[in-house]
Amino acid sequence: MRKKPKYQSHPQNFLSRAKSFLGKRSGVWFWVADDDGSMMSLFWIVIRQLEEIEAMATSKKVIIREEWEKKLNDVKIRKEDMNRLVMNFLVTEGYVDAAEKFQMESGTDRIDLATITDRMAVKKAVQCGNVEDAIEKVNDLNPEILDTNPQLFFHLQQQRFIELIRNGKVEEALEFAQEELAPRGEENQSFLEELERTVALLAFEDVSNCPVGGLLDISQRLKTASEVNAAILTSQSREKAVLFFPLGRIHRNIEKGRALLLKGICVYPKLPNLLKMLLWAQNQLDEKAAYPRINDLSTAMLEDPAI
């Protein structure tokens, strides 16, 4: 026996949805009678047409703003987790005073704030264009940071080259590029391509018309400074991990390690990863539904889908 469609018990609601579906998908409009008899006859016609259309195309579920906001509001976030996220942001971005006050007010687990000052000194040096000083400070903190991260070291040297060009020291810049950057470009194709882009700055008297003029923008300094900051954070977190988990015993301390990470002892920037997870989740959901999504992370405003 052929199984009846699941819509049979709710013909009124389904008919409305079917009419909307058919109108948008195939341009088919139909008349709905007021009496139940005509409606039920028309209902079965709609069922057959809908089955044919669904065989040719798959529709996305549409979630309206009210429904979506209700789903978001139903998600419960613990205050402790939110406090840890705020503390993580303050620490990784170097807001020492704010971190100290927030730590006392929120009751979050204590984090060693002494290392923030040295890390921020390196970051500030890069942001001000004092790259040579920044490299010295990084080596004072931990020489292995640059020894084990050739890409970071190249980007610092590239930034130093950019600062020489910015200050009009063309001859010194060329000499520096030949001695420090060219050998690294020979070893790495991506480094060579970046070097070629940077050297192109010398070909233009007016850098405002230069295709790579953005390298002289303050945003380039900030990008390099953030990369250095992340590398130092990673180094400090590894040092703490080794301190708590001697080699050979890490596998026996998984639960303890998880607790330390939750407390923020091993400090990694959490917010950027959460935002990446948000974008990934939205991209996955885009394949199955139309819903209010966040397109601009800087505002986090929900935008209704185009239907």
Q: By the 8 A CB rule, do 266 and 190 touch?
A: no
Identify the burial level of 196 via C-beta atoms within 10 angstroms of its C-beta, where 0-12 means exposed, 13-18 middle and 19 or more buried: exposed
Per the structure, the complete domain to which residue 27 belongs is given by 6-59
Please indicate, yes or no, whether residues 145 and 252 belong to a single structural domain of this protein.
yes
Which of the residue ranges 11-20, 21-30, 161-170, 178-187 would you say has the lowest mean pLDDT?
A: 21-30
3-state helix, strand, coil in the chain (%, to 5): 70, 5, 25
Select from 18, 44, 59 the last residue of a domain. Answer: 59
Please indicate, yes or no, whether residues 121 and 242 belong to a single structural domain of this protein.
yes
Bridge partners (DSSP) listed for residue 62:
290
Distance, CA of 93 to CA of 113 (rounded, Å): 12
Please indicate, yes or no, whether residues 53 and 166 belong to a single structural domain of this protein.
no
Please indicate, yes or no, whether residues 55 and 116 belong to a single structural domain of this protein.
no
For residue 24, the model assigns a pLDDT of 42
For residue 52, the model assigns a pLDDT of 53
For residue 169, the model assigns a pLDDT of 93
Please indicate, yes or no, whether residues 145 and 32 belong to a single structural domain of this protein.
no
In a domain, 82, yes or no: no
Please indicate, yes or no, whether residues 151 and 27 belong to a single structural domain of this protein.
no
In a domain, 262, yes or no: yes
In a domain, 105, yes or no: no
Whether the predicted pLDDT of 199 surpasses 60: yes
Rg of the chain taking only CA atoms, in angstroms: 30
Query: What average pLDDT is seen over the chain?
Result: 77
Closest CA to 81 of 264, 254, 257: 264
For residue 164, the model assigns a pLDDT of 96
Confidence band for 269, pLDDT divided at 50, 70 and 90: confident
Please indicate, yes or no, whether residues 116 and 47 belong to a single structural domain of this protein.
no
Select from 266, 282, 300 the last residue of a domain. Answer: 266
In a domain, 94, yes or no: no
- What percent of the chain has a predicted confidence (pLDDT) above 70? 71
Q: By the 8 A CB rule, do 31 and 38 touch?
A: no
Please indicate, yes or no, whether residues 50 and 120 belong to a single structural domain of this protein.
no
DSSP 159-192: HHHHHHHHTT-HHHHHHHIIIIIHHHHHH-HHHH
Please indicate, yes or no, whether residues 26 and 141 belong to a single structural domain of this protein.
no
Please indicate, yes or no, whether residues 124 and 42 belong to a single structural domain of this protein.
no
| Comparison of pLDDT for 296 and 48, the residue scoring more | 296
Distance, CA of 250 to CA of 258 (rounded, Å): 11
Please indicate, yes or no, whether residues 18 and 162 belong to a single structural domain of this protein.
no
Q: What is the pLDDT of residues 12-51, one digit of tens each?
A: 454 454 444 444 434 333 433 344 444 444 444 444 544 5
For residue 231, the model assigns a pLDDT of 93
- What percent of the chain has a predicted confidence (pLDDT) above 90? 40
Whether the predicted pLDDT of 246 surpasses 50: no
Whether the predicted pLDDT of 8 surpasses 50: no
Please indicate, yes or no, whether residues 213 and 143 belong to a single structural domain of this protein.
yes
